[in-house]
């Protein structure tokens, strides 16, 4: 229960901290969900199999600005190599900036953010960056994203834990 409270507080604080940047005029608000494959890289690939990722977001954007702010929550899960029933779950909450570029049918964007990562009764800070493509449809958009996540001193290790989540999602 304490973990869920920390996630909620971090997500709300991230959105409140970014509110002044969007307060200059009208803004659009959208909600999104995503799911996909998460691939451990570097040293993490020695200990974990590829797993899954899912999550949600609240995005705020001024209509004429290419910059949007997202509050995001997510969960990645992996099987530990060589351990039957050994799972590793990582829950995250944070803020991401999206830089949307112009496009006709598909709109590319860049992502970069900071988050808290919670797993094995410990909390670590991490950064992420990536690319995405938005395909607007009637009443919603389809999102395709790929990121690199670096969790500093991740999950009991003296090294960073790196993963590459590749997701598909919907934004309403």
Q: Give me the domains of the chain, ranges plus CATH numbers.
A: 2-171 (2.40.160.20)
pLDDT of residue 125: 92
7-21 pLDDT per residue, tens: 555 555 555 555 554
Q: Between residues 136 and 103, which one has the greater pLDDT?
A: 136
Q: Identify the sign of the CA torsion 169, 18, 121, 127.
A: positive
Instruction: Please choose, from the candidates 48, 116, 61, the residue with its C-alpha nearest in 3D space to the C-alpha of residue 87.
Output: 48
pLDDT of residue 121: 79
124-159 pLDDT per residue, tens: 999 999 999 999 998 899 999 999 999 997 656 667
- Residue 48's contacts (CB-CB under 8 Å, 6 or more residues apart) are 40, 78, 79, 80, 81, 88
């Amino acid at each position: 229960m304490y973990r869920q409270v920390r996630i909620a507080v971090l997500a709300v604080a991230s959105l409140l901290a970014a509110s002044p940047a969007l307060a200059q005029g009208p803004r659009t608000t959208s909600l999104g969900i995503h799911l996909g494959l998460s691939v451990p890289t570097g040293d993490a690939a020695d200990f974990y199999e590829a797993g899954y990722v899912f999550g949600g977001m609240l995005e705020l954007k001024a209509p004429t600005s290419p910059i949007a702010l997202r509050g995001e929550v997510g969960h990645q899960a992996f099987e530990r190599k060589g351990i039957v029933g050994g799972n590793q779950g990582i829950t995250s909450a944070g803020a991401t900036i999206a830089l949307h570029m112009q496009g006709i049918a598909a709109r590319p964007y860049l992502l970069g953010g900071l988050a808290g990562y919670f797993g094995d009764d410990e909390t670590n800070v991490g950064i992420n960056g990536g690319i995405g493509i938005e395909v607007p449809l009637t009443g919603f958009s389809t999102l395709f994203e790929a990121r690199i996540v670096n969790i500093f001193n991740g999950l009991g290790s003296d090294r960073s834990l790196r993963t590459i989540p590749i997701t598909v999602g919907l934004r309403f």
